[in-house]
Amino acid sequence: MSVGVATPSASPVLPLWRDPLAWARTADIFAVLIALSLPWSTSLVAIFAVVWLITAVPALDPRSFVASLKRPICAAPIALFVLALAGTLWSDAPWAARLYAISPTAKLLVLPVLFYHYERSARGMWVFAAFLLSCILLMAMSWVVAFHPTLALKAGAEYGVPVKNYIDQSQEFALCAVTLAYPIVTQLRAKKMLLAVLLFAVSVSFVANMVFVIVSRTALVTMPIMLVIFALLHLKWRTNVIIFCAVVALAMLAWAASPKLQWTTETFRRDYDIYMERDEPTSIGLRLEFWRKSLRFFAESPIAGHGTGSTRGLFEQAATGPEVLASGQVIGNPHNQTLNVAVQWGIIGIAVLYAIWWFHLLLFRGEGLVAWIGFMVVTQNILTSLFNSHIFDFHEGWMYTIGVGVAGGMLQNKRSPMAIAGQENSVKP
């Protein structure tokens, strides 16, 4: 089976630096490097992202690119950046805080370029393969560090976390584990047992690491929901019943066999009780405190919010006790994406944020591995954004940008395989 892919035409007469095809190939390489470095480094991701933009832009056709910006999947992310920019005008925060608060939305401007590029590139799957491979290597390193903490790549590393933090690591492992469910089922239906078993082993390895080494509570809550979504969309009800019973049994067994998992689940109730009884800043208690105050801030200015970068100043004014207590904590991120947007830009911001999620979910409706990857990236972001601001966070924000941008471009190519003026079709096996 072949797929028609529009790529910039190569001309033997043009020097390399003026050849759009050469620039496009170079951009593909740097996109792979972004995916490889994402689980390991923030600095490398930032550097490779800038270089990717520099190499991708020369391959753009200005007229067709500008026309593509009118699509809702591109216009909505741009609108959020423009709103953040405009929000500096009615904010009371210092200008340094206003400008700093714009930066989390800037990564969304890469989405239209990714859509355009991978609508014309045949190498989008390279990016996903690179990310999966990098996460497998990180998982292996996590097991090593769990037994030999001195081998961690950063000082003072958490148990089983060689780089970054356990929240980012859990997000990566959960996304890979659930996303692999689709090709596992596909290979089983095609009776390709060897590949299915291999992918299943990789998926189970991610889950085992989260069960026996370390897992974030966000992943612990959202991953089962993602699995339920997969079952409802892609499995028959009888199969779902069998799998549900098996998963319940395995979950009980894992909980009984893993003191780490027991401790993580038990902290839900413990943290809540400590917060309610002593006002101590536990993880759950702080979130409840941040959400309660953020709702009050939103009620004070519901239409357009308090402006870009205003959140921290509002929490400073609302602090009612010493910093050692939950009520005295000051933060610039209420740990909920909707509230983060609502405090700064009100109902207008919420409408734009939900439009982004809605249009991107619609983009990935349908069958196929690429559609499933994109759908899971958006779904995970929506679910985890109940407890964090994951579009604005660096790591999870780039997971969303790369995942949606590459998968969205690949799907646009399949749905609209028309050659663009000045380009030619190239058929890949």
- Which pLDDT score is estimated for 20? 74
> Given a cut of 50, is residue 5 above it in pLDDT?
no
Mean pLDDT of 4-32: 68
- Which pLDDT score is estimated for 149? 77
Mean pLDDT of 22-41: 92
User: Highest-confidence range of 89-93, 270-274, 276-280, 285-289, by mean pLDDT?
Assistant: 89-93
Percent of the chain whose pLDDT exceeds 70: 78
Classify strands 423-428 and 3-8 as parallel, antiparallel or unpaired. Answer: antiparallel
> Given a cut of 90, is residue 366 above it in pLDDT?
no
> Given a cut of 50, is residue 423 above it in pLDDT?
no
Mean pLDDT of 260-268: 62
- Which pLDDT score is estimated for 303? 95
Mean pLDDT of 316-324: 72
**Number of residues assigned to the chain:** 429
Per-residue model confidence as pLDDT tens digits over 129-148: 999 999 999 999 999 888 87
Q: Which of 15, 4, 19, 34 is nearest to 121 (CA)?
A: 4
**Dist. CA 312–CA 324, nearest whole Å:** 17
Q: What share of the chain is helix, strand, coil (3-state, %, to 5)?
A: 70, 5, 25
The partner residues of 428 in beta bridges, in order of sequence, read 3
- Which pLDDT score is estimated for 298? 94
**Dist. CA 7–CA 3, nearest whole Å:** 12
Helix (H, G, I), strand (E, B) or coil at 424: strand
**Dist. CA 140–CA 70, nearest whole Å:** 43
- Which pLDDT score is estimated for 156? 65
Longest dimension (CA), the chain: 76
Q: If you write DSSP's letter for every residue of 198-266 in order, what string do you get?
A: HHHHHHHHHHHHHHHT---HHHHHHHHHHHHHHHHHHS-HHHHHHHHHHHHHHHHHHHHH-HHHHHHHH
> Given a cut of 90, is residue 77 above it in pLDDT?
yes
Asked which of 7-11, 67-71, 305-309, 382-386 is least confident by mean pLDDT, the reply is: 7-11
- Which pLDDT score is estimated for 4? 43
Q: What is the pTM of this model?
A: 0.85
Asked which of 17-21, 268-272, 356-360 is least confident by mean pLDDT, the reply is: 268-272
Provide the terminal-to-terminal Cα distance of the chain, rounded to the nearest Å. Answer: 7
Per-residue model confidence as pLDDT tens digits over 387-417: 889 999 999 999 999 999 999 999 987 766 4
For residues 404 and 5, the model is more confident at 404
**Dist. CA 135–CA 207, nearest whole Å:** 12
- Which pLDDT score is estimated for 217? 80
> Given a cut of 90, is residue 285 above it in pLDDT?
no
- Which pLDDT score is estimated for 421? 37
Per-residue model confidence as pLDDT tens digits over 174-221: 999 999 989 998 898 888 999 999 999 999 999 989 888 887 888 888
Mean pLDDT of 297-302: 94
- Which pLDDT score is estimated for 127? 96
Q: Which of 48, 81, 70 is nearest to 115 (CA)?
A: 70
Q: Which of 173, 260, 249, 168 is nearest to 212 (CA)?
A: 260
- Which pLDDT score is estimated for 286? 76
Q: Average pLDDT of the chain? A: 83
The residue extents of the domains of the chain are 123-259
- Which pLDDT score is estimated for 271? 65
- Which pLDDT score is estimated for 280? 61
363: which residues sit within 8 A by CB, 6+ positions away? Answer: 73, 374, 404, 408, 411
